[in-house]
A and B are shown apart, each in its own frame.
Chain A
Amino acid sequence: MSAAKGGPMLRARGVTRKFGGLIAVNSVDFEIPRGSISAIIGPNGAGKTTFFNVIAGIYAPTAGTIELDGKPLISPPTGAGREPILLILPTIPFIALAIYSLLVVGGDTGLVEGVASVAAALLGFVGALLLNIIRPAWYNRLIKRIGVTRPARPNDMVVAGLARTFQNIRLYKSLTTLENILVGMHVHMHGSFLGALFKSRLVREEEAAAEQRARELLAFVDLAGMENELAKNLPYGKQRLLEIARAIASRPKLLLLDEPAAGMNPRETEEMTALIRRIRDELGITILLIEHDMRVVMGISDHITVLDHGEKIAEGLPKAIRTNPKVIEAYLGRGAAAGH
């Protein structure tokens, strides 16, 4: 981490995402300075959310790469066609054996051996299929050697140090606020299956520490005293706070906020911007947000990127963006830009 100290927190190069014929995001180059609060803005349908989802690992990019903290994070999937070969490979000797014993040997002895080797072939295939589905790390390295890169999944992003919230709040509604946070801490806990069964000392200590930390996080977002409240019973504004707390619980390097102030009244919005600043200042987490409320964006962002029709049309400081004719044109139309 210290090696990449100087570089940007996130660097996207030529990120493109197509849906059929529609190019939602077109070759966007993008950087988030370390320790900054950055924003992506743009009119409706500009491709903000798609870009956001590519970073969050929900969509794989059609082209382009993304680096987080100097380490490659996302690249377009390649070599998908080669993978079935790996699935069939372990079954080939058994199929050969089955053919040999059923057709060449024949009879009763052949039948038993034939059935056994068909079963073995099936088992081999199923085993390979399971590997393919579960994909442990060593399997990923193996397939990388034959040129297969699989699209990353959202949970891989969290492990890499990236957390997010959703535009339409997605809490675990019938869990308590404390449990919501504990789920958020999942990647930093190591309690194993057997550890849970035998309640090992490690697990007990880890659970106690996690609960302590979850309480601290709830206090950080001003939800102290609501530990045992069900998430769905919280008022809207507090649900947003809880979702942010859950995201921070995974100790991310970069926090993605999808319209954090949507549907909030002015006072709540103000509290939200204060919280976002505190997350950056006190926890040292770099923040990227998508937001429609221009007061929020202009108020807290150090760095703004403007997308329109899937392309980056401007980036820079809020002051420069506000007066950029291209941006005004994108939002208000050509006439407004000319009149300015």
Chain B
Amino acid sequence: MSRIADAVNAPFAPVRAYFRKHRSFGIFVGVVLLSIALPLLTRVPPFDGIQSTNAWVNAFTTAAIYAMLAMGLNVVIGFAGLLDLGYAAFFALGGYTYAFVAAPFTGIHLPFWPMLLAGGVVGAIFGVLLGAPTLRLRGDYLAIVTLGFGEIVPITLMNADKFTDGVNGIGGIDKPNIPGILQFTLTNPWPMYGLVIALFSLIMIMIYRLEDSRLGRTWDAIREDELAAESSGVNIVIAKLQAFAVGASIAGIVGVVNAAKITIVTPDQFRFAVSISALAAVVLGGMGNTIGVATGAFIIYLFQSILLKQLNTLVENFNIPVLNQIDFLDFQYVLYGIVLVLMMLKRPQGIFPARRRMREFAPLKIGKRGLK
């Protein structure tokens, strides 16, 4: 059995060794291949019957945005062990940052590309602002404060109508363009898809590099034992703030992209449900495993936006009594709940556990000589 597996694997061994050495390039290649394969797959039945390729590509773009959000949250929760339930707030701040400077509402029209960075900076600043007063809190107490922060931001945005146009939000946000070459439009999803894929691989590479660095180790240490970390010389104040800042800046950048994609920001887009869905993705994918978390986000997003919609049309077509009264799309929150509860009960390490977590939850090996 293993001999066959070895024989099959043998030709790939050098490839694998190469990508182990050049991981960033490997991630890039993997993401690009996947981003080509996914649209091709939607041409094949049964996927082609569900929606047009353009609609699929649009869905993949949103899923990737969502996956980036989950990867950013994973830095805070999975690496540093700080339970952040208000993550959507940074997403909102990024989106509004771009909306302020690129919409008819304010009359300012700054270009998109520098604002990507600005969104990240705004996110980082607010990440530090949230992090600073909560430094001494752990676990559930931290969760409550971040939850409050996650509510404050959309509510403030809603009530400051003089500056944000309240519940209406800011619409007509500029689409990005590459002057003279490419203008992004609402009808053509491909440029945005390309942009999101590029950003996705960039963020993933950055997170992997941080995880393996001196900073990543300090996050590990803080998650494991704060007092011991301090006694190893780790400045836990700065390390925690850095975790918040990195996580929040990713959300800020993604917020800018999201605003440019759907061309409108309203406070309602950034409610608690967004934070919870990102958390569900992190838990589903496997806390601490960046690729796992991104995959988890993809699964959850496609589940809720494709499968539930399909369920709706299915029930309608067969005209099943009672069930055809139900809009299954409303049940996405039930889905999050089920995902969170089931995962915690059955597989707390996630579908794709981080290497570390895998060992943490592995059953003890009992050999001939007793416990090993």
Contacts and interface: CB of A to CB of B under 8 A. Distances in A.
Interface of A: 56, 58, 126, 129-130, 133-134, 153-155, 157-159, 163-164, 166, 170-175, 179, 182-184, 186-187, 189, 191, 193, 195-197, 199, 203, 207, 230, 246-247, 249-250
B152 interface: no
A76 to B, nearest CB: 20
Contact of A172 (B128, B129, B132, B220): B220
* Residue of A170, A173, A189 most packed against chain B (CB within 10 A): A170
Contact of B236 (A155, A173, A195): A155
B188 interface: no
B356 interface: yes
A172 B224 contact: yes
13 contacts: A134-B238, A154-B227, A157-B231, A170-B227, A172-B224, A172-B229, A173-B225, A183-B221, A183-B232, A186-B221, A196-B213, A197-B206, A203-B213
B230 interface: yes
A196 B232 CA distance: 20
B242 interface: yes
Given A171-B228, A172-B221, A196-B215, A183 B132 contact: no
B220 A175 contact: yes
A168 to B, nearest CB: 11
B230 A154 contact: yes
Contact of A182 (B215, B217, B238): B217
A56 B233 CA distance: 11
A-B pairs with lowest CB-CB distance, top 7: A158-B233, A196-B213, A187-B233, A172-B224, A170-B228, A154-B230, A191-B214
B230 A179 contact: no
A159 B231 CA distance: 10
A170 B234 CA distance: 15
B225 A184 contact: no
B58 interface: no
B314 interface: no
Interface in B240-295: 241-242
A186 B218 contact: yes
A250 B229 CA distance: 12
B359 interface: yes
Interface string B293-305: 0000000000000
Contacts of B43: none
A198 to B, nearest CB: 8
Given A186-B234, A191-B214, A197 B209 contact: yes
A133 B136 CA distance: 11
B205 to A, nearest CB: 9
A203 B215 CA distance: 12
A183 B360 contact: no
* Residue of A56, A186, A247 most packed against chain B (CB within 10 A): A186
Contacts of B342: none
Interface of B: 24, 128-129, 132, 135, 206, 209-210, 212-218, 220-221, 224-225, 227-238, 241-242, 356-357, 359-360
Contacts of A193: 210, 215, 242
B232 A246 contact: yes
Given A133-B237, A153-B230, A154-B227, A174 B214 contact: no
A116 B206 CA distance: 36
A186 B232 contact: yes
A247 B360 CA distance: 24
A230 B220 CA distance: 13
A73 B24 CA distance: 44
Contacts of A164: 231
B131 to A, nearest CB: 9
B217 to A, nearest CB: 5
B235 A133 contact: no
B233 to A, nearest CB: 3
Contacts of B218: 183, 186
* Residue of A126, A173, A174, A187 most packed against chain B (CB within 10 A): A174
B213 A155 contact: no
A154 B220 CA distance: 18
Contact of B359 (A179, A203, A230): A230
A171 B234 contact: no
A170 to B, nearest CB: 4
A186 B217 contact: yes
A164 B218 CA distance: 18
Given A56-B231, A197-B209, A133 B135 contact: yes
A77 to B, nearest CB: 17
A175 B235 contact: no
Contact of A155 (B132, B209, B217, B233): B233
B213 A174 contact: no
A183 B216 CA distance: 10
Contacts of B217: 179, 182-183, 186
A133 B356 contact: no
A171 B236 contact: no
Contacts of B228: 166, 170-172
Contacts of B227: 58, 154, 166, 170
A251 B63 CA distance: 48
Given A182-B217, A186-B221, A186-B233, 14 more contacts: A126-B129, A155-B230, A158-B233, A166-B228, A172-B228, A173-B224, A173-B225, A175-B221, A175-B356, A183-B229, A186-B234, A187-B233, A191-B214, A196-B212
B242 A174 contact: no
A134 B360 contact: no
Contacts of A199: 24, 209
Given A126-B129, A172-B220, A230-B360, A191 B233 contact: no
B213 A191 contact: yes
A187 B233 CA distance: 6
Nearest to B220: A175
Contact of A184 (B232, B235, B242): B232
Contact of A183 (B220, B238, B356, B359): B220
* Residue of A157, A184, A195 most packed against chain B (CB within 10 A): A184
A196 B210 contact: yes
Contacts of B357: 174
Given A171-B228, A173-B224, A183 B234 contact: yes
Contact of B233 (A129, A197, A250): A250
Contacts of A58: 227
B191 to A, nearest CB: 26
